[in-house]
Structure 1
Amino acid sequence: MNPPTVIIPIPSHDFDPTEVSVSWKILRDAGCRVEFATPDGQRGYADPLMISGQGLDPWGWIPGLKAIRLVGLLLRADRHGREAYRQLQQDSAFLAPRRYAELKPDDYDGLLLPGGHAPRMKAYLEDRRLQAFVAAFFESVDHAGQAKPIAAVCHGVVLAARSISPRTGKSVLHGRKTTALTWQLERSAWQLTRFFARFWDPGYYRTYGEAPGQPVGYCSVESEVKRALANDADFIDVPKGSADFLLKTSGIARDRLDNPRPAWVVQDGNYLSARWPGDVHTFAQAFAERLLARGGR
């Protein structure tokens, strides 16, 4: 049997390096074949601030000082994410992606939607061709007639939420349970950067800001995803009082393959979701296990 083939659509710029690269590495190491897609078929680039950390400190706008990093070292991708991205940039499939317009569900056994928060992510989240492909993939089945595995993390869940099923006229997430970047995590990063770090660019951690008259948080990931669901209760966050609650919700601790305790991953049938880069080792490993259990086409 052929190894399962996974497609990871990414934007041309500003994707989160950890969510893409660690997922790719875990899937590849598990024996999956991984392909990528961008709007124009040219290689994509991660958010540079998440690689270097330069520009995330209060003096980050000053050319001679921005190389000095304090907050930037805390907020950028950790060493696992940076090393995985270094390896990813040598991968032939990453360097020669497909175009969004070329994607067909029958060509793939699994779909993974990563995220990122920087401004140029909007082209990925708003692309109608990509939304149509995601909607079609949610409706597709494998050789055994079973729904194919799908995974989404962080802003990737927004892309899924915006993908409308032609069968129901509703989001493909309507009636499903999911998690995504929570308002607590998004707000914490936003407040840290706008008040204490990247104050000259206060919206950096908010991909979409509120319009006049909208309450704060209305355009957050959590709020938008909830509006696509059948019920607010279908958005699943870490329950208060659960084991490792503080570890999972601090926004500081990140998981590892040998330590899933900080992670929060939600499964609903064939669909798997997670919140942020700190969940990605557990998220990608769980996705790889589901793919390998099914096998390839």
Structure 2
Amino acid sequence: MGTVLVPLPACDFDPTEVAVSWRVLRRLGHRVRFATPGATVATADDLMVTGRGLDPWGAIPGLDRVVLVGRVLRANVVARADYAALLEDPEFTAPSGWDAVDLDTVDGLLLPGGHRARGMRPYLESERLQGLVVDAFRRDLPVAAICHGVLLAARSIDPRTGRSVLYGRRTTALTWSLESRAWRVARVTRFWDRDYYRTYVEAPGEPRGYMGVQQEVTRALRQSGDFVDVDPDNPNAALQSSGRARDSDDDARPAFVVRDANYLSARWPGDVHSFARGFAEMLAGAATE
């Protein structure tokens, strides 16, 4: 089967989007390699692993172990188990450096997300990773991006055209509906760090949501209609739009993914099982062409 490269930030990646994708791709016969800024082992956003720090008392030592709101917002039991297994994976514990990787020995590129600004901004703003994404699209390699990973793709400008690699493609990403709902909750429950769920916030004079993932990705596209969200007429629309229901190995109904030729996108951790399975299918199809 194929080899997938997953570039990661040094810290604060989303544990579900990485660990579940890793487990599903491995189960379906693909090799998963990792790359980090300094070839050191990456760490996930601890709040998304444990849920600690997402309740109003989360900054108080000892009380932070009492997790209520955090239990809802953190990775679910399957994703936490996958993350624990990922930490023991030899490929994960011996990553390449961003500067050392190329695409000659891989069959696909997977761009995960995360939202915590401390770790995610260096990843999203990396000229090295943006160049890697451009190279992947030029080679017509299968590329998959989820959540803020789509923002990395949107920022990857092909110097031959002066446009994003997503220009002329259909995509989804973390929607403003999902992002703003999580932000509103955290502004109350994590009041000492009110913008925890916003990687980028608006400057004075910018309209609300201008720096949201959906809005920035849409600005990189050929037309606004190329950003795709759930069809309200879909029989599973309520599940897909709830922000609570997550897909699983056995239930794809809550998931929403968008494929455009060799490019696959998804919105948030609740789509990740279907996202990873879809990418595995793309890789298998590319191998037979």
Structure 1: give runs of 5+ residues left out of the alignment.
141-146
Q: Give the number of equivalent residue pairs.
A: 288
Q: Is the counterpart of residue 217 in structure 1 residue 209 in structure 2?
A: yes
Is 1:92–2:90 an aligned residue pair? Answer: yes
Which residue pairs with 2:15 in the alignment?
A: 17
Give the equivalent residue in structure 2 for 1:237: 229
Q: Report the equivalent of 1:154.
A: 147
Corresponding residue SS for 2:200: coil
Match of 1:279 among 242, 253, 271: 271
1:295 is displaced (CA, Å) by 2.5
Provide Cα deviations, 1:118-170, integer angstroms capped at 9, x if missing partner: 12111100111111111111101xxxxxx221100000000000001122111
Give a deviation string over 1:157-192, Cα, whole Å, max 9, x none: 000000011221110000000000000000000001
1:42 aligned residue:
40
Q: Secondary structure at 1:111's aligned position in 2?
A: strand
- Counterpart of 1:128? 127
Question: Matched residues in 2 for 1:267 and 1:130: separation?
Answer: 22
Aligned equivalent of 2:179, options 181, 186, 202: 186
* Structure 1 residue 294: Cα displacement: 2.5
TM-score (norm 1): 0.95
Percent identity over the alignment is 56
Name the CA distance, whole Å, in 2 between partners of 1:208 and 1:18. Answer: 21
Q: Provide closer, same or farther for how the CA distance between residues 296 and 9 of structure 1 changes in structure 2, counting only shifts above 3 A.
A: farther
Aligned to 1:171: 164
With normalisation by structure 2, the TM-score equals: 0.98
CA RMSD for the aligned pairs? 1.1
Of 79-88 and 60-69, the range deviating more from structure 2? 60-69
Q: Distance in 2 between matches of 1:236 and 1:294?
A: 24
Q: Cα offset for 1:107?
A: 1.8
Q: CA deviation at 1:296?
A: 8.6
- Superposed, which structure 2 residues align to 1:97-108 within 5 Å? 97-108=95-106
2:252 maps to which residue? 260
- Cα shift at 1:266: 0.2
User: What is the letter of the counterpart of residue 117 of structure 1?
Assistant: H
Give how far 1:94 is off.
0.5
